[in-house]
Amino acid sequence: MSPKAGPRTYLRPTAMLAPTASLAAVERLVRIAGREDLASSAVELIVREGDVRTSVDLLQTSALRAKAETDPVLADLLEMIEAPRPPLAGLTLDRPRLMGIVNVTPDSFSDGGAFSSAQAAIDHALQLEAGGADILDIGGESTRPGAEPVSIEDELRRVLPVIEGLAGRTKALISIDTRKADVMRRALAAGAHMINDVAALTYEPACMEVAAVSDAPVILMHAQGDPRTMQAAPYYDDCLLDVCDWLEARITACEAAGIARSRLVIDPGIGFGKNLAHNLELLTGLSLLHGLGVPLLLGASRKSFIGMLSGVKTARERVPGSIAAALQGAAQGVQILRVHDVAETRQALTVWEAMRHGAA
């Protein structure tokens, strides 16, 4: 892609474990985002010059800590990785949280008039909450590959009744999934607590302003291109590092506009301008993004890469693969998993966590 200035260092925590106090050298482990239950015992140290990785080393965390004593770049990165993430609108991030997907698009609730669609979406959202959703993500514009944009009026007509119907009826946080400033503003006024933007506040200049004057958390997702055309020929020099650099630049832009880092969440945008190899590179390397010092969100649920890997055709057949992707995210310390199948993912996480700790 664009030329990159000077060498850049990245750390990717690996060899994750659930630390116990009795473990030898427990204090040398790298704690992920302040988590009691997740630490790394070895870290990949990656250096890139220009567009190429010039070195990749695997260091035990004790060797890394020793190196960081004389290397301020490493010391800063370690601090970013280990710092506890503050709660988002009151939601603590000390364990994986589930964001349930509520698509209020005609193909999702196509059962007639506007009211019955909104009511169906509200009922569905409450079911997701009962199944264990901590956040309900309400969206009125499809961002699937090839999807056409919808007007502001149509988007508002779809999402506002659902947000108004949920506000005060759910303990879950309500998130507005939109790229548009007016939709953000009206949704927040109607009771939404946070913004989920697949364009990371770049779709309209006013988005940054709306987010800055609110106190809502903002999810900044990486995408290459627009949903209509993004899958045509995605290209990266190094997908994981390019996505990391791009998200870092968005964090910097948000901070400059007055949005505190403590309000930001980042997301690599699985399937948004990425081919199968790119998606797998991101899913394998996710933990590198902890170096940006903010919580991570992963949205892999029912996406087409699962169909490509498994040979299944429809989105509904991709639930088992979606759960596998969610567990991969949880294992790398992702704090928020955006999923369609909340109860199924919650069950998988409960069992996986009990097995990690050896206790319920």
Residues that bind ligand 9MG (CB under 6 A): 139, 143, 177, 196, 198, 219, 221, 267, 269-270, 297, 299, 338
Measured from the CB atom, the residue of 140 and 161 that comes closer to ligand 9MG is 140
CB of 266 to ligand 9MG, least distance (A): 9
Measured from the CB atom, the residue of 143 and 170 that comes closer to ligand 9MG is 143
**Closest residue by Cα to residue 160 from 183, 178, 135:** 183
CB of 267 to ligand 9MG, least distance (A): 4
Q: Can you list the positions of beta strands (E) in 118-201?
A: 135-139, 173-177, 194-197
Measured from the CB atom, the residue of 63 and 253 that comes closer to ligand 9MG is 253
Bridge-partner residues for 45, per DSSP? 11, 57
Residue nearest to ligand 9MG (CB): 299
CB of 221 to ligand 9MG, least distance (A): 4
Q: What are the phi and psi torsion angles at 46 (to 5°)? A: -115, 130
CB of 300 to ligand 9MG, least distance (A): 7
Measured from the CB atom, the residue of 220 and 288 that comes closer to ligand 9MG is 220
CB of 133 to ligand 9MG, least distance (A): 15
- Phi-psi label, residue 6: left if phi above 0, alpha if psi -120 to 50, beta otherwise: left
CB of 106 to ligand 9MG, least distance (A): 16
39-49 and 52-60 strand pairing: antiparallel
Residue 66 is encoded by which pair of tokens?
């020793």
Distances (CA, A) of 306 to 101, 241, 262, 270, 322: 18, 23, 33, 11, 7
Q: Which of 179, 263, 338, 346 is catalytic?
A: 338
Q: Is 8 a catalytic residue?
A: no
Q: Which of 65, 97, 302, 303 is catalytic?
A: 303
Residue whose pair of structure tokens reads 């204090």 in the numeric block: 27
Measured from the CB atom, the residue of 196 and 332 that comes closer to ligand 9MG is 196
Angle in degrees, CA 201, 300, 194, rounded to 5: 35
- Judge contact between 99 and 336, C-beta under 8 A: yes
Measured from the CB atom, the residue of 19 and 268 that comes closer to ligand 9MG is 268
**How many CB atoms neighbour CB 114 within 10 A?**
10
**How many CB atoms neighbour CB 357 within 10 A?**
11
Residue whose pair of structure tokens reads 């800590």 in the numeric block: 65
CB of 123 to ligand 9MG, least distance (A): 21
Q: Is 303 a catalytic residue?
A: yes
Q: What is the 3-state secondary structure (H, E, C) of 4-51?
A: CCCEEEEEEEEEEECCCCCCCCHHHCEECCCCCCCEEEEEEEEEEECC
Task: Return d(Cα 177, Cα 191) in angstroms, integer.
Answer: 13
Residues with catalytic roles: 303, 338
